[in-house]
Amino acid sequence: MSAPIVRFRGVSKSYDGRTPVVAGLDLDIARGEFLTLLGPSGSGKTTTLMMLAGFEDPSSGSIELEGKRIDTVPPHKRGIGVVFQNYALFPHMTVARNLAFPLSVRGTSRAEITTRIAKALEMVRLSGFGDRRPQQLSGGQQQRVALARALIFSPSLVLMDEPLGALDKQLREELQLEIRRIHATLGVTIVYVTHDQSEALTMSDRIAVFEGGRIQQLGSADAIYERPANAFVAGFIGENNRMEAVVADSTTLRLSDGTMLATAPHGFSAGERVIACIRPEKVHLAEAGQRAPVTEVVYLGDHCRLRLSYAGLPDFFAKRPSLDGVALPQVGEAVFLAIPPTAVMVFRATPHRE
Amino acid sequence: MRRTNWLAALLIAPLMLLILGSFLLPVGFALFTAVADREVAATLPRTRAALAAWDGVGLPPEPAFAAMAQELGQALEDRRIGDMAQRLNFERTGMRGLLLRTARAAGRLEAPYAASMVALDARWGEGDTWLLVQRAGGPVTPLYLLRAMDLQRAPGGGVQAVAAEEALYRQLFWRTLGISLAVTALCVLLAYPVAYTIAKLSAPWSAVALMLVLIPFWSSVLVRSTAWFVLLQREGPVNQAMMALGLIDAPVQVVGTRIAVVVALVHVLLPFAVLPMHSVMKRLDGIYLRAAASLGANGVQRFLRVYLPMSMPGVLAGAAMVFLLAVGMYTAPALVGGDRDQMVAWFIAYFMNREVNWGMAAALSAYLLAMTGAAIGLARVLTGGVATIGGRA
Ligand SMILES: Nc1ncnc2c1ncn2[C@@H]1O[C@H](COP(=O)(O)OP(=O)(O)OP(=O)(O)O)[C@@H](O)[C@H]1O
Ligand SMILES: [Mg+2]
């Protein structure tokens, strides 16, 4: 891997001088990658992005862009494209003038501006919309213009803060593909903020999961889903049955109601309190095994979701794929669970923090 | 759907009635008063009827003379002659004297009246005198509207300018326009940085600053204008301060000058410029400035190309507000201005209170209304039909 385009080193940020909003952030962003910052509301994603764009100053630590510290560089000299959640298109300018803005403040020639606008509009499939005002465009069209405006001056880094947050599901998926396509063709580095995990999983090269101002895990989509680093990530990404347990021996956990669960708790000693997580789709129904009464059945077409009461938990979920000729379990019946030892993820009881 | 419409109509009915009763009707009445011509028809109905058939050549027939003599006498006896005499005298100086003299002599006049009246006063032998009375028969006259533009009806028909020494009103309107535009420009220039600063202040301080802007509203225009009179007079603090600073050697006469009028008006009207600007700037989302910065615009470019145009609706609303109020200002110029600094409103008051010439007051009002209407229209054109007062941000 060549030198990272952005490098956060021990960056912390606090608005009030006491509670850290971002704490000790170390992050290298590779040139050309699509990195997503994913996390619950208030976890510091926007703050991280705004420090990179130059609208907030880190309380401590340093940020490097292209190998140079940018602490003292004002936003307009950083050359970073930003797409804001609410588009922030200038309402008093036409689409074409909006697109011309970053070029004309740089003194680009008129002829050059005209050709670049035409190309940019073509890229976001809005040729012929140049004379419209932003208010005359739909939400999706406005976001496309915002995208084109952030890209038209050929920045090597583009930041997007929940750019699709205000759009409905269908439009969102359409624009996700479009952003991916643009990323692939232009080769720009994109730092993307979202709290929609499916968006993060489908779009990103790497995902940084934020919580409490810290990166809980940084990795590819499958790594984060299959091998969560701690109980928070396991619970935040995808669905999970979360259970408190005590390590019985090197191959078994004892759940709070005494149920024994077979697994291999690496790196834990007997008697230690842990959290066990099991994804619903990894729970199999069997002819015999651990017994669990069904309290709810939700039919979802390709699969059905069962709410079971198991090991003292009233809400233990299992997913069962729809199978030909096999009847659905009924509420009040009991099913038998087969939980493969590899499906049980074991985490330290206190959230893992560096 | 129908029911809600009815309900809505019912709910706004009181407001509509109020607007109708307190605004549309009086304005309509005032506009009509500017062209109404009732006095001659009310006081000399038979004379008017006798003159109706006259072709205006030479002198009218004997019945017109007879009716005039009798009706003048009767009107004097009934004390109804004043309004009519004033009306005709306004159009031609000297008519009041002629009418009163004839009325007093009415008892002694005898047929043929054409001869005895001319003997009494030679002016009854002039066709122009009778034409004047004939044309004043009503019901409408362009007299006041013409005079308010320094015009009059030419004897042979058509319109001509009044004598240069009587011309007054066109200059008055230009002066009003000039003072109002100067006051508007100064208010906008002074208010913009104030509104900008207040909009940038954080929560408690912006409220305090806004209150400071509003403090002048706690006292009346009269009090504030009087205060300027005190401040600006020869022995006043402004002169004393400037002398103490060595800027001037002797007190300067400020009261009674155009400068005093402009200063007082700017002071009175400044809050009306600050408030609309502030309300637009307050809602102007900082996200646009951030977007501009991220796109590479420096501070000056951000202000000139994003902030200024986006705050323009507020500027125009404030300017329109100040202009409309300035055009109709009466108190401040009357207190601190000289004779040559008075604006249209002063003359309207003059014609109503002193001259009791409602036609002239109404005609001046009508032109003032047209002027403000034109200003609003211009503001709309300038903003592409977007903003007027309270327009969209
Ligand atoms: N200007 C500010 N002043 C004070 N506190 C702030 C400011 N901006 C953000 N915060 C606080 O910092 C924390 C992190 O905010 P941030 O906007 O970075 O979260 P986020 O991850 O982007 O959340 P969301 O998904 O809701 O956008 C929050 O607790 C927020 O209240
Ligand atoms: Mg955010």
Q: What is the pLDDT of residues A200-230, one digit of tens each?
A: 999 999 999 999 999 999 999 999 998 999 8
> Given 3.20.190.10, 3.40.47.10, 3.40.630.10, 3.40.50.300, which CATH number is that of A6-231?
3.40.50.300
Q: What is the pLDDT of residue B218?
A: 81
Q: How distant is the Cα of A1 from the closest Cα of chain B, in angstroms? A: 28
**Residue A22 Cα to ligand 2 middle (Å):** 13
- Indicate the residue of B296, B301, B312 with minimum beta-carbon distance to A153: B296
- The residue of B280, B289, B294, B311 whose CB has the most chain A CBs within 10 angstroms, and thus the best one to mutate to test that interface, is B294
With an 8 Å Cβ cutoff, are B293 and A74 in contact?
A: yes
Instruction: Give the pair of three-digit tokens for residue A260.
Output: 């024994």
Residues of chain A with C-beta less than 8 angstroms from the C-beta of B291: 82, 84, 88-90
Q: How distant is the Cα of B378 from the closest Cα of chain A, in angstroms? A: 20
Question: Is residue A136 less than 8 Å (CB to CB) from chain B?
Answer: no
- Indicate the residue of B294, B310, B312 with minimum beta-carbon distance to A82: B294
- Indicate the residue of A77, A80, A88 with minimum beta-carbon distance to B291: A88
Q: What is the pLDDT of residue A50?
A: 94
**Residue B305 Cα to ligand 1 middle (Å):** 29
Domains of chain B in sequence order: 39-139 (no CATH), 170-384 (1.10.3720.10)
Burial A202-240 (b: 16+ CB within 10 A, else e): ebbebbbbbbbbbbbbbbebeebbeebbbbbbbbbbbeb
Question: Is residue B392 less than 8 Å (CB to CB) from chain A?
Answer: no
* Helix ranges restricted to H, B166-296: 169-200, 203-214, 221-232, 237-244, 258-283, 286-294
Q: Which of A126, A50, A82 is nearest to B292 (CA)?
A: A82
- Find, in chain B, the residue whose alpha carbon is nearest to that of A150: B295
- What sign does the dihedral A186-A187-A191-A194 (CA atoms) show? positive
Return the best residue to mutate from A13, A22, A45, A211 for the ligand 1 pocket (most ligand atoms within 8 A of CB).
A45
* Helix ranges restricted to H, B215-257: 221-232, 237-244
Measuring from each residue's beta carbon to the nearest atom of ligand 1, which residues come in under 6 Å? A 15, 21, 39, 41-47, 195
Give the long-range contacts of residues B204-212, CB within 8 A, separation 24 or more.
B206/B282, B210/B278
Q: Are B276 and B270 in contact (CB under 8 A)?
A: no
Alpha-carbon torsion angle B158, B162, B167, B172, nearest 10: -10
- Indicate the residue of A55, A82, A105 with minimum beta-carbon distance to B301: A105
- Find, in chain A, the residue whose alpha carbon is nearest to that of B289: A88
Instruction: Give the pair of three-digit tokens for residue B265.
Output: 């008006």
Return the best residue to mutate from A19, A21, A210, A236 for the ligand 1 pocket (most ligand atoms within 8 A of CB).
A21
Q: What is the pLDDT of residue B384?
A: 65
Q: What is the pLDDT of residue B21?
A: 87
Q: Which of A279, A287, A290 is nearest to A318 (CA)?
A: A279
Q: Are A21 and A47 in contact (CB under 8 A)?
A: yes
Instruction: Give the tens place of pLDDT for each residue, A289-335.
Output: 888 899 999 988 888 899 998 888 888 999 988 777 777 888 888 88
In the predicted model, what is the mean pLDDT of residues A83-104? 93
**Residue A17 Cα to ligand 2 middle (Å):** 20
With an 8 Å Cβ cutoff, are B291 and A105 in contact?
A: no
In the predicted model, what is the mean pLDDT of residues A285-289? 82
CB atoms under 10 Å from CB of B215, counted, come to 9
pLDDT per position in chain B (393 positions), as tens?
Answer: 567 788 888 888 888 899 888 888 888 888 898 888 888 888 888 888 888 888 878 888 888 888 888 888 888 888 888 888 888 888 888 888 888 888 888 888 887 888 888 888 888 888 888 888 888 887 888 889 988 898 888 877 788 888 888 888 999 999 999 999 999 999 999 999 999 999 988 888 988 998 888 887 788 878 888 888 888 888 888 888 888 888 888 888 888 888 889 998 998 899 999 999 999 998 888 899 999 999 999 999 999 999 999 999 899 989 989 999 999 888 888 888 888 888 889 999 999 888 888 889 999 999 999 988 888 888 778 766 554 444 343
Asked whether the predicted pLDDT for residue A353 surpasses 70, the reply is no
Q: What is the pLDDT of residue A77?
A: 93
Q: What is the pLDDT of residue B1?
A: 55
Length of chain A: 354
Q: How distant is the Cα of B209 from the closest Cα of chain A, in angstroms? A: 25
In the predicted model, what is the mean pLDDT of residues A118-133? 91
Identify which ligand lies nearest to the alpha carbon of A40. 1
CB atoms under 10 Å from CB of A119, counted, come to 13
Question: Is residue B304 less than 8 Å (CB to CB) from chain A?
Answer: no
| Segment (H or E) for B153 | strand B151-153
Residues of chain A with CATH 3.40.50.300: 6-231
Global confidence as pTM: 0.78
Question: Is residue A15 less than 8 Å (CB to CB) from chain B?
Answer: no
Q: How distant is the Cα of A105 from the closest Cα of chain B, in angstroms? A: 6
